[in-house]
Amino acid sequence: MLLSLEPRGQQSRLMLWCSPLLAAALTLGCGSLLFIALGHDPLLTLHTLLIAPISDGYGVSELLVKALPILLCALGLAVAYQARIWNIGAEGQLLLGALAGSALAVNIIDLQSRWALVLILLVGTLAGAAWAGLTAWLRTRFNANEILTSIMLNYVALNLLLFCVHGPLKDPAGFNFPESAMFSDFSRLPLLMEDGRVHAGVYFALLALVAVWVLLQKSFIGFQIKVLGLDKRAAGFVGFREKRLIWLALLISGGLAGLAGVCEVTGPIGQLVPQVSPGYGYAAITVAFLGRLNPIGILFSSLLMALLYIGGESAQMSMNLPQAITQLFQGMMLFFLLASDVLILYRPRLNVRWARRAPATVPAGAL
Amino acid sequence: MPNPVPIPDQTPRLQLRHISKRYPGCLANDAIDLTIAPGEIHALLGENGAGKSTLMKIIYGVTQADSGEMTWQGQRVNIRNPSQARGLGIGMVFQHFSLFETLSVAQNIALAMGAAAGTPKQLEPKIREVSRRYGMALEPERLVHSLSIGERQRVEIIRCLMQDIRLLILDEPTSVLTPQEAEELFITLRRLAAEGCSILFISHKLGEVRALCHSATVLRGGRVAGHCQPAECSDRQLARLMVGEAAETITDYPKVVGGGVFLSVSQLSWHNPDPFGCSLKEVDLEVRRGEIVGIAGVAGNGQDELLALLSGEERLTRNDGATIRFAGQAVAHLRPDARRKLGLAFVPAERLGHGAVPELSLADNALLTAFQQGLVSNGLIQRRKVEALAEEIIRRFGVKTPDAQTPARSLSGGNLQKFILGREILQQPRLLIAAHPTWGVDVGAAATIHRALIALRDAGAAILVISEDLDELFQISDRLGALCGGRLSPLKATVDTRLIDVGGWMAGQFDAPHSPAPATA
């Protein structure tokens, strides 16, 4: 018996657009089964997980705060993934952005100028880009696989951050807690509303959204990135510069992740702590694919992912469900999305070999 | 050319009845009937995509028919895999050889025959005997990577002949051979047939089918278009069976003498880093304005390398820049886009995955090479201009497609090739380099492409065509040469050249400027 996948003759574009919805529905369905198995009322649990958290203004603002770093990282990843450069390092690039921004912030804590914030944001963005630049250099210079190098650099970045927060950047007046000093108000992103934590980072996200959309949909650079991803030989034959495009895609990717990181420390957190990110950089990978690498799609999928984060926290508090629920839902979502895509493009076929063997004994005597 | 022997009436060696096979989205074989008598050389004729390959894969057991029945020497059979087919006495020589380059001839044959047949050493006498009996010179100890393509084909054929063989299937065997090598192959095949072995000879070349085959089955669009005796049919009748009533007769284009030199290549040598690739040695080449230069050659003799160096996918250092010049300007160190600015247009051999991006729309594929024609301003794509260009290509070159938004991969080979050529021609190039411009293209599209090339030539462009199709080269080129082992023969006016001369050049029989040409088998 053999299971094989045959490409479908007619590929349905409509179904490809629907597959994220299908994946979301399947995730909800399987989640419900899980809740039943755990002895909870599935509808009530789903309500706690997905609806209760955003039923008031504060909840919506929390949703935006969570969605912001995911959106920024996923937009950058979309640029890299269009070129088929599999940057898995958004998490490390985010952490490095946060680290570099914080290092500057605690050193200019006395600077009484709005330029302090501008400088800090700039440094954080550049640090994220530089961290991705390492991956780009390894790839273009040594042809090292960017999946491996970017994942490994995530751990380097995390340990670098832990070292700094336990060492050089630790607040001398912080009772030996592994935290930096609180940044001055001139180094903080201004809040947009009185109640809630929504901050000016939202503007950056919207700006990045439009910029990435123009880059990918309207610009010739974006066209080159797409051609490189789809067909390297065609890109070479018309003279698109492969190495330059790899650098560009990774620098944009890392820069946006770095911006996400520095927005976290200058926005809701206000200081450098070991837990800057609960895995935003990894969640952004799922978000980028769930949004079909399209900036508009990514906007919606990042909101959905943020909702899962907040819902997971409230389910943990009010229903005593484990925190792993969030990761479980992320995993199921990516799994179902990939499965739907495969089944939309290919037809599975079970070859039952032993059933055909019956009439095969005749020819042996023919010679 | 011996006259076909009449086949005595007896039990057919192989008989197919109503064989059908459906792949997703296409009916590859539709109720095909085919009968082959013992000792008969039977041609299976048809255009690319007519269903020839599917049919022979069914006979050889590589794939199974959905319906229909197969009778082998009077007994119904159901061939499930190639090893069962070999057990019955069916052998097959594929277009692409399956040989290990680092092993010897005998080792390759021993591997294919399995442990029971004996060690390579034990097989050597038999290999020598078979190769002597059928007039195929071959040394069992030689390593395969040192063999020419023609010799490798002999290894494949001898591998089939080592067993008791009743039916030999050959898939386009002459597509990789020089005319002289093809003639040697025919002698072997006639001898085999005279001993009673049936041969199924797959081809789309009418001349050789007439020279070799007793009878022919013509396929078109997955169906049998007719059975005939090739010796009694004219080329036109056969062509009409193959492509339908739309078959255009071969046109004669007037030959011209070009003007000033546009492309000049002098003493181009290039070492290929791929150990099994071909290196270029001291290539000299000039293409003038208003002429078509044709370069023949068996695949793998330096065509890909020369094309890559001319297009700019491979570049030399700035110091060697003057090795290739466009209108006197050194370009060998320039990137493809810089060369395009100087008037180069290029049609690569592979349409999908090189000349066009399969997943992108035709409009985007127009942008792919025409981006220096005012389609981009301030870094943004001018969508409306791109669409207009794509629609103009579609209209002027008769590309059959629903619209410019259709992805390139859903076009047939001929239509996509018309689109790619149209894209390059509308950029008004001063030099057009085209590789295998009509490979796998139906007769109607090939005629369109040839007319477009001639029109571009008459408009004053320099054109270089590299092709394996000698008929095509004689038809459209004004001067001819051939590549062999990375060397280029001197060019000669087509009107003063005979087919047999080109065959000799393809085998390396020409005076290379510095060192003697390699000897041929």
**pLDDT score for B9:** 56
- Contact list, B359 vs chain A (CB under 8 Å): 230-231
- Contact list, A365 vs chain B (CB under 8 Å): 75
Could you tell me which of B174, B249, B158, B166 has the C-alpha nearest to residue B211? B174
- The order of strands in the sheet holding B26-36 is B26-36, B14-23, B67-72, B75-77
Domain count, chain B: 3
Are residues B362 and B310 both part of a single domain?
no
B80:A238 CB<8 A: no
**pLDDT score for B247:** 46
| Pairwise CA distance, residues B431 & B424, whole Å | 10
pLDDT at B83 exceeding the cut of 60: yes
Band of pLDDT at residue B518, cut at 50, 70 and 90: very low
**pLDDT score for B146:** 81
Band of pLDDT at residue B263, cut at 50, 70 and 90: very high
- Contact list, B28 vs chain A (CB under 8 Å): none
End-to-end CA distance of chain B: 23
Contact pairs from chain A to chain B, CB under 8 Å: 95
Mutate to test the interface with A, among B78, B333, B344, B406 (most CBs of A within 10 A): B78
- Contact predicate B347/B416, CB 8 Å: no
A367:B87 CB<8 A: yes
**pLDDT score for B521:** 36
B202 within a domain of the structure (yes/no): yes
Beta strands in B24-120, from DSSP E residues, in sequence order: 26-36, 41-45, 67-72, 75-77, 90-93
Quote the tokens at residue A321: 């469900």
Are residues B412 and B434 both part of a single domain?
no
| Pairwise CA distance, residues A327 & A335, whole Å | 12
List the beta bridge partners of residue B169.
B92, B200
| Pairwise CA distance, residues A109 & A270, whole Å | 12
Could you tell me which of B353, B476, B475, B348 has the C-alpha nearest to residue B423? B348
Are residues B422 and B478 both part of a single domain?
no
Are residues B57 and B188 both part of a single domain?
yes
- Contact list, B76 vs chain A (CB under 8 Å): 362
| Pairwise CA distance, residues B168 & B223, whole Å | 23
Are residues B478 and B513 both part of a single domain?
yes
Residue of B nearest to A362 (CA): B77
B405 within a domain of the structure (yes/no): yes
Q: Measured between alpha carbons, how far is residue A74 from residues A204, A296, A310 in Å?
A: 14, 11, 18
Are residues B471 and B485 both part of a single domain?
yes
Q: Measured between alpha carbons, how far is residue B246 from residues B242, B243, B401, B448 in Å?
A: 10, 7, 19, 13
| Pairwise CA distance, residues B346 & B272, whole Å | 22
A218:B364 CB<8 A: no
Could you tell me which of A185, A181, A192, A170 has the C-alpha nearest to residue A57? A192
**A133-155 pLDDT per residue, tens:** 999 999 999 999 999 999 999 99
Are residues B58 and B168 both part of a single domain?
yes
Of A188-192, B363-367, B391-395, which gets the smallest average pLDDT? A188-192
List, in order, residues 6 or more apart from A269 with CB less than 8 Å away. A276
Quote the tokens at residue A329: 């839902």
| Pairwise CA distance, residues A93 & A116, whole Å | 22
| Pairwise CA distance, residues B3 & B181, whole Å | 21
| Pairwise CA distance, residues A120 & A98, whole Å | 10
Q: Which residue of B336, B358, B367 is in closest CB contact with A237?
A: B336
B254 within a domain of the structure (yes/no): no
ipTM, two decimals: 0.83
Q: What is the phi/psi pair of residue A196, to 5°?
A: 100, 170
Q: What is the phi/psi pair of residue B273, to 5°?
A: -65, -20
Q: What is the phi/psi pair of residue A170, to 5°?
A: -65, 140
- Contact list, A215 vs chain B (CB under 8 Å): none
B218 within a domain of the structure (yes/no): yes
Q: Which residue of A8, A240, A363 is in closest CB contact with B77?
A: A363
Query: What's the CATH code of the domain at B67?
Result: 3.40.50.300
Distance to chain B for A359, nearest Cα, Å: 8
**B447-501 pLDDT per residue, tens:** 889 999 999 999 999 999 999 888 889 999 999 999 988 999 999 999 999 888 8
**B99-141 pLDDT per residue, tens:** 888 899 999 999 888 777 788 888 899 899 888 888 888 888 8
Mutate to test the interface with B, among A2, A237, A361 (most CBs of B within 10 A): A237
**Single residue among B218, B249, B280 that ends a domain in this structure:** B249
Are residues B329 and B305 both part of a single domain?
yes
Q: Which residues of chain A have pLDDT under 70?
A: 1-2, 9-12, 351-367
B/e letters for A183-200, b = 16+ CB within 10 Å, e = fewer, are bbebbbbeeeeeebbbbb
B451 within a domain of the structure (yes/no): no
| Pairwise CA distance, residues B43 & B40, whole Å | 10
B156 within a domain of the structure (yes/no): no
Do the bridges between strand B67-72 and strand B14-23 make them parallel or antiparallel, or are there none, so unpaired? Answer: antiparallel
B114 within a domain of the structure (yes/no): no
The SS3 of residue B313 is coil
Domains of chain A with CATH codes:
69-331 (1.10.3470.10)
Are residues B379 and B494 both part of a single domain?
no
Could you tell me which of A264, A266, A265 has the C-alpha nearest to residue A187? A266
Are residues B68 and B172 both part of a single domain?
yes
- SS3 of chain A: the string is CEEEEEECCCCCHHHHHHHHHHHHHHHHHHHHHHHHHCCCCHHHHHHHHHHHHHCCHHHHHHHHHHHHHHHHHHHHHHHHHHCCCCCCCHHHHHHHHHHHHHHHHHHCCCCCCCHHHHHHHHHHHHHHHHHHHHHHHHHHHHCCCHHHHHHHHHHHHHHHHHHHHHCCCCCCCCCCCCCCCCCCHHHCCCECCCCCCCECHHHHHHHHHHHHHHHHHCEHHHHHHHHHHHCHHHHHHCCCCHHHHHHHHHHHHHHHHHHHHHHHHHHHHCCCCCCCCCCHHHHHHHHHHHCCCCHHHHHHHHHHHHHHHHHHHHHHHHHCCCCHHHHHHHHHHHHHHHHHHHHHHEEEEEECHHHHCHHHHHHHHHC
**pLDDT score for B414:** 79
Residue of A nearest to B72 (CA): A366
Q: Measured between alpha carbons, how far is residue B420 from residues A234, B67, B337, B435, B446 in Å?
A: 12, 39, 17, 12, 13
B360:A227 CB<8 A: yes
- Structural domain range at position B36: 14-89+164-249
**pLDDT score for B35:** 92
Are residues B436 and B317 both part of a single domain?
yes
Band of pLDDT at residue B383, cut at 50, 70 and 90: very high
Mutate to test the interface with B, among A223, A238, A293, A345 (most CBs of B within 10 A): A238
- Contact predicate B201/B181, CB 8 Å: no
Band of pLDDT at residue B154, cut at 50, 70 and 90: confident
- Contact list, B331 vs chain A (CB under 8 Å): none
A231:B357 CB<8 A: yes
Quote the tokens at residue B20: 């059908």
**pLDDT score for A367:** 37
B98 within a domain of the structure (yes/no): no
Average pLDDT over residues B60-86: 89
- Contact list, B73 vs chain A (CB under 8 Å): 366
**B411-425 pLDDT per residue, tens:** 877 789 999 999 999
B356:A234 CB<8 A: yes
| Pairwise CA distance, residues A31 & A45, whole Å | 9
End-to-end CA distance of chain A: 30
| Pairwise CA distance, residues B81 & B62, whole Å | 6
Quote the tokens at residue A142: 């040594």
- Contact list, B61 vs chain A (CB under 8 Å): none
Band of pLDDT at residue B245, cut at 50, 70 and 90: low
Residue of B nearest to A10 (CA): B25
Of A142-146, A361-365, B50-54, B201-205, which gets the smallest average pLDDT? A361-365
Q: Which residue of B88, B340, B350 is in closest CB contact with A367?
A: B88
Distance to chain A for B357, nearest Cα, Å: 6
Are residues B436 and B422 both part of a single domain?
no
Name the DSSP letter for residue B402.
S
Distance to chain A for B429, nearest Cα, Å: 14
